[in-house]
Amino acid sequence: MGKKHVIATNQEEAIKEQEKIDKTAGKEVKVKSSSVGVQEGKVYVSSSYNNTIVTLTNSRGQVLAWKSAGSVGFKGTKKSTSFAASRVAETIANICKKIGIDRIEVLIKGIGAGRESAVRSLVTQGLNVISIKDVTPIPHNGCRPRKVRRV
């Protein structure tokens, strides 16, 4: 085995990374005339085995912004981690603060690793979470079975 190289990040690199996240968070924010004065919103967390997508809407369901683990900067198998989901939720929380939304309802869909960490990071960012609802689709009876094989 070769030598292990430890990469130490200094303050300048951390600041550049934070600015990069702020730039990507600022691209999606388009303040429309209907979204001015919005104080309530809904956050949809769709978590699969491969990615986590977080969508911010107003109370009527019109999309204001969305972010995924891939758009924040994660690639490959790192997109499916809970850390990536928490980063995605942090960027959505920053967008909420820029728009002026302080109360949110959270709707969770999927069975991925980022379900709980995304909700926890939304709460730690200072947003007032009104309700958390699981809207994962569940099959009731499934597909019609095949006909019986006759030999």
Q: Distance (Å, rounded) from C-alpha 27 to C-alpha 119?
A: 23
- Total count of domains within the chain: 1
Phi, psi (deg, nearest 5) at residue 88: -65, -45
Tell me, what's the pLDDT at 142?
85
* CATH number of the CATH domain containing 67: 3.30.420.80
Q: Give residue-wise pLDDT tens across range 17-59.
A: 667 666 655 554 555 444 556 689 999 999 999 999 999 999 9
Neighbour order of strands in the sheet with 40-47: 63-68, 52-58, 40-47, 103-110, 128-134
Q: Give residue-wise pLDDT tens across range 99-118.
A: 999 899 999 999 988 899 99
The answer to whether position 58 is within a domain reads yes
The answer to whether position 92 is within a domain reads yes
The answer to whether position 109 is within a domain reads yes
The answer to whether position 107 is within a domain reads yes
The answer to whether position 123 is within a domain reads yes
Give the structural domain span for 79: 41-134
Beta bridge partners of 63: 57
pTM of the predicted model over 0.75: no
The answer to whether position 104 is within a domain reads yes
Q: Distance (Å, rounded) from C-alpha 122 to C-alpha 96?
A: 10
The answer to whether position 151 is within a domain reads no
Q: Distance (Å, rounded) from C-alpha 109 to C-alpha 51?
A: 12
Tell me, what's the pLDDT at 33?
42
The answer to whether position 122 is within a domain reads yes
